[in-house]
């Protein structure tokens, strides 16, 4: 046995750090921001072009660099989509896409209980009602629960590919088509992931992505919308801008006779600086996701035989973007104890990082933690949209715990590890050792 192997075995058998023993590691893990870890000369070069041209606005100016146009072209080409539209954030991408569908008062949008608050916000801002759907062991929408909850008020399905990997979108698409429903794919947390060789975000009528700093590629903020339907693209364009199309000089065409594309816009345009950063990052996305996927599955495969430790079901491991590893335990108490012990062993980042968390700590990713939803809060004194006569159908909808049993169960006894895009072999080895050490004492 080599000295390295002996050292590994010795650490696994040691006393838990949380009980006074020596931790597996004392240095924090690398930052958990996938795209930002890969910032370098290309991002600097593209941004400097915009700065030197003094042209940060995308539609016109003294020396337009067309960064947003290039980003959209490259994104659409990479994903095999006809249209791509850069926007100011993933949150606005959701709003714009649902607006393009014509979602409004009297409608419900079906979405899963494990998602991000922006999904709920977009629905409510449009005056519609969120209809919560339970999840399955993929931590995405349960097709079975979806079938049971579709009603005459259902307008669209908002399917969210959570935590880095593709969800069970194919049966959801079958259900949607049979019921005449539009599908919006939220791929914000899983940019670059695939299912059976096909990019997620290309299954539904519209796909959206986010470039916020926690995402697989980042411009700090920003988002992307893709679709193949010209009508929906033009609706998205109008909704994201000021409600009208633009001519080839970037000027608003408020006199256009295409009235169906004249809607109130959100002013959610992407800037050229954001476009520059996102373009540089898009060129690196395969390298970033490959690094995370390789590290994650190197870790996971060495832990899969541990009794009492199970994992989220990944439908297509080769298409996993790799940024999260979700583990599942027999009870909520075991989950909490395991997670706290893991942190004590040094499987954490710098103060304030989110590397290792129990799902109970994952806040607004769970619908029942969204108090504005639970309490049906409004941005209007009238109680809009909950008090609208058109939305009276939803008066008995519940948004608290015990309304989606699988969400309750998995939120209470699962945990996640954020997999940095810059892990070294030593880092991944320390993570494996720490999991095995804690498992020996806690499971």
Q: What tokens were used for 280?
A: 């540089």
Is residue 186 packed enough to be buried (19+ CB in 10 Å), middle (13-18) or exposed (0-12)?
Answer: buried
Whole-number Å distance between alpha carbons of 210 and 95: 13
Domain-located, residue 395: no
State whether 113 and 208 are in the same domain: yes
DSSP 3-state assignment of 114? strand
Q: What tokens were used for 422?
A: 């810059």
Beta bridge partners of 269: 87
| pLDDT in the model for residue 8 | 54
Domain-located, residue 416: yes
The pair phi, psi for residue 83, each rounded to 5°, is: -130, 145
DSSP 3-state assignment of 206? strand
State whether 320 and 260 are in the same domain: no
Q: What tokens were used for 330?
A: 């027999």
Contact assessment for residue 185 and residue 207, using Cβ atoms and an 8 Å cutoff? yes
State whether 148 and 217 are in the same domain: yes
Contact assessment for residue 140 and residue 162, using Cβ atoms and an 8 Å cutoff? yes
State whether 273 and 309 are in the same domain: no
Neighbours of 390 (CB within 10 A): 15
The residue out of 226, 258, 284 marking a domain boundary is 284
State whether 300 and 168 are in the same domain: no
Give residues with Cβ within 8 angstroms of 311, minimum separation 6.
300, 304, 325, 326, 327, 328
Domain-located, residue 161: yes
The CA-atom distances, in angstroms, between 116 and each of 94, 107, 288, 377 are 11, 20, 23, 17
Q: How many domains does the chain have?
A: 2
The residue out of 253, 284, 315 marking a domain boundary is 284
Whole-number Å distance between alpha carbons of 281 and 133: 34
pTM value is: 0.95
Whole-number Å distance between alpha carbons of 273 and 279: 10
State whether 134 and 246 are in the same domain: yes
The residue out of 252, 284, 316 marking a domain boundary is 284
The pair phi, psi for residue 400, each rounded to 5°, is: -100, 180
| pLDDT in the model for residue 248 | 74
* Residue that is written with structure tokens 């950063």 in the block: 277
| pLDDT in the model for residue 256 | 59
State whether 110 and 21 are in the same domain: no
State whether 337 and 305 are in the same domain: yes
State whether 126 and 20 are in the same domain: no
Structural domain harbouring 304: 3-32+285-363+408-442
| pLDDT in the model for residue 5 | 46
**Residue 309, phi-psi category: left (phi > 0), alpha (psi -120 to 50), beta (remainder):** beta
Which parts of the chain have pLDDT scores under 50?
A: 1-6
CA atoms within 13 A on the CB side of 32: 21
| pLDDT in the model for residue 379 | 86
State whether 97 and 55 are in the same domain: yes
Whole-number Å distance between alpha carbons of 50 and 73: 18
| pLDDT in the model for residue 249 | 76
Domain-located, residue 386: no
Domain-located, residue 119: yes
Domain-located, residue 370: no
Neighbours of 31 (CB within 10 A): 17
Whole-number Å distance between alpha carbons of 300 and 305: 10
- In eight-state DSSP terms, residue 38 is G
Domain-located, residue 375: no
CB-based burial, 251-265: b 16+ in 10 Å, e otherwise: eeeeeeeeeebebeb
How many residues can be counted in the chain? 443
State the DSSP string of 53-92: HT---SS--SS---HHHHHHHHHHHHHT-SEEEEESBHHH
Whole-number Å distance between alpha carbons of 107 and 126: 10
The domain that holds 300 is classified in CATH as: 3.90.1150.10
State whether 205 and 262 are in the same domain: yes
Domain-located, residue 71: yes
State whether 27 and 50 are in the same domain: no
The domain that holds 103 is classified in CATH as: 3.40.640.10
| pLDDT in the model for residue 155 | 99
* Residue that is written with structure tokens 């429903």 in the block: 181
Whole-number Å distance between alpha carbons of 215 and 353: 15
| pLDDT in the model for residue 3 | 41
Whole-number Å distance between alpha carbons of 113 and 404: 7
Whole-number Å distance between alpha carbons of 351 and 247: 49
């Amino acid at each position: 046995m080599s000295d390295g192997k002996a050292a590994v075995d010795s650490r696994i058998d040691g006393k838990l750090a949380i009980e006074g023993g020596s931790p597996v590691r004392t240095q924090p893990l690398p930052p958990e921001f996938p795209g930002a870890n890969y910032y370098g000369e290309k991002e600097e070069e593209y941004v400097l072009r915009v700065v030197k041209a003094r042209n940060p606005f995308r539609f016109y100016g003294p020396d337009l660099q067309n960064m947003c146009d290039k980003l959209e072209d490259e994104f659409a080409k990479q994903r095999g989509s006809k249209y791509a539209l850069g926007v100011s954030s993933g949150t606005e991408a959701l709003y714009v896409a649902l607006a393009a569908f014509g979602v409004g008062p009297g409608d419900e949008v079906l979405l899963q209980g494990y998602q991000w608050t922006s999904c709920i916000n977009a629905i409510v801002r449009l005056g519609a009602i969120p209809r919560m759907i339970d999840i399955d062991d993929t931590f995405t929408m349960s097709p079975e629960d979806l079938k049971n909850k579709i009603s005459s008020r259902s307008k669209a399905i908002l399917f969210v590919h959570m935590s880095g990997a593709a969800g069970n979108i194919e049966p959801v698409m079958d259900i949607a088509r049979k019921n005449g429903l539009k599908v919006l794919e939220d791929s914000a947390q899983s940019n670059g992931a695939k299912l059976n060789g096909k990019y997620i975000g290309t299954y539904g009528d519209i796909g959206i992505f986010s470039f916020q700093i926690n995402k697989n590629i980042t411009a700090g903020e920003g988002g992307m919308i893709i679709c193949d339907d010209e009508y929906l693209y033009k609706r998205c364009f109008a909704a994201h801008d000021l409600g009208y199309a633009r001519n080839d000089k970037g000027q608003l065409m408020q006199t256009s006779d295409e009235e169906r594309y004249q809607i109130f816009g959100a002013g959610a345009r992407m800037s050229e600086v954001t476009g520059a950063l996102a373009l540089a990052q898009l060129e690196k996305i395969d390298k970033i996701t490959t690094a995370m996927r390789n590290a994650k599955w190197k870790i996971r495969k060495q832990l899969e035989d541990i009794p009492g430790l199970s994992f989220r079901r990944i439908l297509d491991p080769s298409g996993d973007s790799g940024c999260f590893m979700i583990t599942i335990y027999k009870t909520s108490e075991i989950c909490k104890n395991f997670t706290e012990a893991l942190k004590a062993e040094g499987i954490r980042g710098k103060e304030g990082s989110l590397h290792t968390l129990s799902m109970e700590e994952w806040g607004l990713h769970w619908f029942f933690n969204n108090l504005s939803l639970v309490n049906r809060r409004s941005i209007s004194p009238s109680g809009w949209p909950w008090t609208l006569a058109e939305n009276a159908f939803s008066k008995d909808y519940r948004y608290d715990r015990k309304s989606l049993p699988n969400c309750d169960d998995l939120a209470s006894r699962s945990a996640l590890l954020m997999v940095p895009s810059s892990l070294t072999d030593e880092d991944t080895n320390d993570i494996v050792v720490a999991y095995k050490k804690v498992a020996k004492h806690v499971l």
